[in-house]
Structure 1
Amino acid sequence: MKRLLSTAAAVTLLAPAAHATEIEVAYAYSSLFDPTFAQITQAFEQAHPDIKVTFRATYENYEDATNTILREAVAGTVPDVSFQALNRQQILVERGIAQPLDPFIAGEEGFETEGYHKAMLDLSRFDGAIYGLPFSVSTPIGFYNMDMLRGAGIDTVPATWDAVIAACKAMTANGQEALYWHWDISGNWMLQAEMWSQGVPMIKDGKLNMDNDAGLKALETAHAIFRDCEMKNTGGGDASKAFAAGELGMFFSSTAYVSFVDRSKLGDWEFVTAPYPGLDGTPQALPAGGNAAMMTSASDDPELRAAAWDFIKFATSGEGAAAVALTTGYVPPNQKANALLMDDFYAQNPNKMTAVDQLPLLSEWFAYPGDNGLAVTQVIHDSLEAILVGDATDMEELRDEMVDEVNALLPR
């Protein structure tokens, strides 16, 4: 392996400088990112003994991250650096909470050669300015317990939702818990995946673009998954633990969970990942998930802001991105990460290669425009939950009600 971030056993941190600059950082999903930030912070503080990093309480999810920082902005208690979902950046830009990074980038000699390629930077570009640096990028994928599938007479990974549902029925008949589709993941991401799979954007001309056949098909697919797979009403976190324990046959969620499953896996069963199922074949597109590092400091102290920039730059550098790849299943958004990984990293970690193979399908993870964006997310969440618990059975009626309610919340 080429030189990479030092492990906890190998690194002895330098003692903090007597007058170290202290920055506060906040991020979401502790179960996914705690190992990542532990590794990054050790290396960062060794390289920057004059900067002390203090972490805020972890955000539960991306909606919590946005809600929390909006409240903190009113109270004047925002962290200096906040890792926010790619689809939630715009509201922080519009509210003046996120600070443009262009002045810092301009002061970095050779920044354009540091692995930050334009396509990734564009994920955080608004009105021509860059407000974040990409930290992690993901796509939805399939997680499979091949022993359970084979036990139900299924030898190959299902490639379409019809095949997934057929596998569910065989596994259920075999007395197994078949599937969890992570419907409640942040930002209605999985429903957006069903729309993009058909090549149809979730938002068009500022409105919810589901009053069409594609929207109906997406909801009908969710209905079939919930009903025909007898899916339990548990959270995605619990489902990931059940999968890692060998108690669940299939799990459809973010590639971010790959390392979690590797670390938590109980028993000697075959774990494989595969591309996200399509409706009639390979998906036409998929939403780009993940988050970006944003400077949200309210301080005018140039020393503190410079320290916050140093942490953002380090966390998203090739070294930081390599740590993301090693400790999660995210795709490194910095091209230099590959030079720091083992030459045969993906050959040795094929379950992490699935998301890399899906990169050509990456499309926008839509944020709902206007001040009611989080409320729109909740309306769609509640509609999916109504399907799951059996309160909604007529998908056309549900679609029409959801479209009307959402569009009433969006800017006119």
Structure 2
Amino acid sequence: MKITTTAIALALTATAVCAEDKVTIEFAYPYSHLFDVTYEAMMPAFKEAHPNIEVKFRATYESYEDGTNTILREAVSGNLPDVTMHGLNRQLILVEKGIAQSLEPFIAKEADFEKDGYHQAMLSLSTFDDQVYGLPFSISLPVGYYNMDILNAAGIDKIPSTWDEVISACETMKANGIANPIFWGWNITGNWFMQAMMWSQDKAIVEDGKVTLDSPEALQALEQIQEIVTKCEMQNLEWKAALASFSAGDIGMMFWSTSALGAVERSQGDFELRTGAFPGMGTAPKGLPAGGNAAMLTSQSEDPAVRDAAWAWLKFITSGEGAAEVAKTTGYMPPNKAANEIILADFYEQNPNKRTAVDQLPLLRDWLAYPGDNGLAITQVIYDGMERIVTGDATDMKELQKELVEEVNDLLPNS
């Protein structure tokens, strides 16, 4: 067959156009052990829908705090990703510093945005000054994980509903030869469990720009934490080691985010796993902090094609189709209404361990950021205080409360 010069020229032109149409965006997210499998599951459908968009995955953040510090550094160096995933309690600082960009121009172009599952209750989690800056990707709540083989062997057949019952179960398991009956996730990101103990009493840890560590509820929380740690003789494990130990069948009860459920199930040993509602302080919790993260646009590109590609990726991963993979591969709940009501209609009935957090949704409260530029430093102060309880360095909770109040107040913005 004779190929003309004109035909060759047209073919080369078409190839060049395809090459020019290829757009690469960069994406960063935390917790590879939780989310790697989620994004892997999403990619085939995204590539089919957007064959000209290549998503380049950056090294994952270790935590939400690490992600925030990384983005703040990259903003200075001019090396920001196009899309980044951030903890719900870490969005505001990126908005205040002009790093996260409003999504309103993109949303305005979408004809059926609400029909796609993006209802107002979802968008409010990432709305600041009446502008949407992020699309929530996953929601988590604290839950209990139980190795029913260990509990049943100790004669325990009822999942605890209060911390007193948890402590009683610990003592029974210890008497039955279990060396480490519990892991209570004090070291989870953002002082989440401290806030859970505060919200359990219907008390916010931040009110009117002040951190409420001087409140009676804060003292109650510290004293309850100390009781759990000391009476259960809890070992001071790094959180990844604790998750691995529970999955291996060595720990009777673990209190952590529902987000880890998929990872636990994938590595679970030969035992019956059940999840249960987060225990309360004498009565059922009155509230619990919403964990999870949101996708935010941080692209520094002035190329409209790159920005449109970043929006396409950001929208896809939070859409009904994308968000459904969150529930299937993790223990997070997708905030997207279409995912929960249509795609996952039968999913929770077939996966009762993943339904536990859904049943707690009426308790949902804000996961609060600490005010001012020293918010991360305040997080560290409270983390250090909790660590002192776990290691036994702090034994007088009133004294510890006083020290924490003084340190935190020194870091708050001048009123």
Range into which the TM-score falls when normalised by the shorter chain: over 0.9
Q: CA deviation at 1:207?
A: 1.2
1:381 aligns with 2:383: yes
Which of 150, 153, 156 is the equivalent residue of 1:154?
A: 156
Which of 143, 158, 165 is the equivalent residue of 1:141?
A: 143
Distance of 1:222 and 1:401 partners within structure 2: 17
1:213 counterpart residue number? 216
Which of 28, 31, 52 is the equivalent residue of 1:29?
A: 31
Secondary structure of residue in 1 paired with 2:160:
coil
1:12 counterpart residue number? none
1:88 counterpart residue number? 90
Distance of 1:207 and 1:338 partners within structure 2: 36
Distance of 1:386 and 1:65 partners within structure 2: 25
* Deviation string, structure 1 residues 227-278 (Cα, Å, up to 9, x no partner): 11111111221111111111110110100111111111111x2100010000
Secondary structure of residue in 2 paired with 1:292:
strand
1:275 aligns with 2:297: no
1:161-180 map, 5 Å: 161-176=163-178, 177-180=180-183
2:19 counterpart residue number? 18
Q: CA deviation at 1:210?
A: 2.1
Secondary structure of residue in 2 paired with 1:184:
coil
| Contact 2:320-2:343 at 8 Å conserved across structures | no
2:373 maps to amino acid: D
Q: CA deviation at 1:340?
A: 5.0
With structure 2 as the length reference, what TM-score do the two structures score?
Answer: 0.94
1:107 counterpart residue number? 109
Distance of 1:74 and 1:175 partners within structure 2: 54
| Contact 1:243-1:249 at 8 Å conserved across structures | yes
1:257 maps to amino acid: A
Secondary structure of residue in 1 paired with 2:381:
helix
2:264 counterpart residue number? 261
1:252 counterpart residue number? 255
| Contact 1:319-1:340 at 8 Å conserved across structures | no
Distance of 2:140 and 2:197 partners within structure 1: 16
* Deviation string, structure 1 residues 49-106 (Cα, Å, up to 9, x no partner): 1100000001001110000010000000010000000000000001110000000000
Secondary structure of residue in 1 paired with 2:337:
coil
More helix by share: 2
Q: CA deviation at 1:17?
A: 5.2
1:313 maps to amino acid: K
Secondary structure of residue in 2 paired with 1:407:
helix
Q: CA deviation at 1:298?
A: 1.1
Distance of 2:345 and 2:127 partners within structure 1: 32
With structure 1 as the length reference, what TM-score do the two structures score?
Answer: 0.94
Task: Quote the RMSD (CA, aligned, Å).
Answer: 1.2
Residues 260 and 241 of structure 1, relative CA distance in 2, 3 Å threshold: same
1:169 maps to amino acid: E
Secondary structure of residue in 2 paired with 1:336:
helix
Distance of 2:308 and 2:150 partners within structure 1: 52
Which of 36, 56, 73 is the equivalent residue of 2:75?
A: 73
1:113-132 map, 5 Å: 113-132=115-134
1:229 counterpart residue number? 232
Distance of 1:375 and 1:204 partners within structure 2: 18
1:40 counterpart residue number? 42
Distance of 2:219 and 2:284 partners within structure 1: 19
2:188 counterpart residue number? 185
1:126 maps to amino acid: F
2:258 maps to amino acid: T
| Contact 1:197-1:285 at 8 Å conserved across structures | yes
Distance of 2:340 and 2:388 partners within structure 1: 43
2:14 counterpart residue number? none
| Contact 1:41-1:53 at 8 Å conserved across structures | no
Secondary structure of residue in 1 paired with 2:100:
coil
1:224 maps to amino acid: E
Distance of 1:76 and 1:260 partners within structure 2: 34
Q: CA deviation at 1:108?
A: 0.6
Distance of 1:69 and 1:386 partners within structure 2: 30
1:252 maps to amino acid: F
Q: CA deviation at 1:343?
A: 4.0
1:217 maps to amino acid: Q
Distance of 1:102 and 1:173 partners within structure 2: 59
Deviates more, 1:381-390 or 1:173-182: 173-182
Secondary structure of residue in 2 paired with 1:291:
strand
Computing the radius of gyration from Cα coordinates, the structure with the larger value is 2
1:11 counterpart residue number? none
Secondary structure of residue in 1 paired with 2:25:
strand
Distance of 1:97 and 1:404 partners within structure 2: 31
Q: Matched residues, percent identical?
A: 58
2:12 counterpart residue number? none
1:321-360 map, 5 Å: 321-339=323-341, 341=343, 343-360=345-362
Distance of 1:98 and 1:311 partners within structure 2: 16
Q: CA deviation at 1:174?
A: 1.6
Q: CA deviation at 1:341?
A: 3.4
1:181 maps to amino acid: W
5+ long unaligned stretches in structure 2: 1-16
2:340 maps to amino acid: N
Distance of 2:32 and 2:46 partners within structure 1: 19
Secondary structure of residue in 2 paired with 1:113:
coil
Residues 237 and 216 of structure 1, relative CA distance in 2, 3 Å threshold: same
Count of matched residue pairs: 396
Q: CA deviation at 1:402?
A: 0.2
| Contact 2:100-2:298 at 8 Å conserved across structures | yes
Distance of 2:196 and 2:357 partners within structure 1: 14
Secondary structure of residue in 2 paired with 1:241:
helix
Distance of 1:388 and 1:259 partners within structure 2: 27
1:288 maps to amino acid: A
2:140 maps to amino acid: S
| Contact 2:86-2:293 at 8 Å conserved across structures | yes
Secondary structure of residue in 2 paired with 1:366:
coil
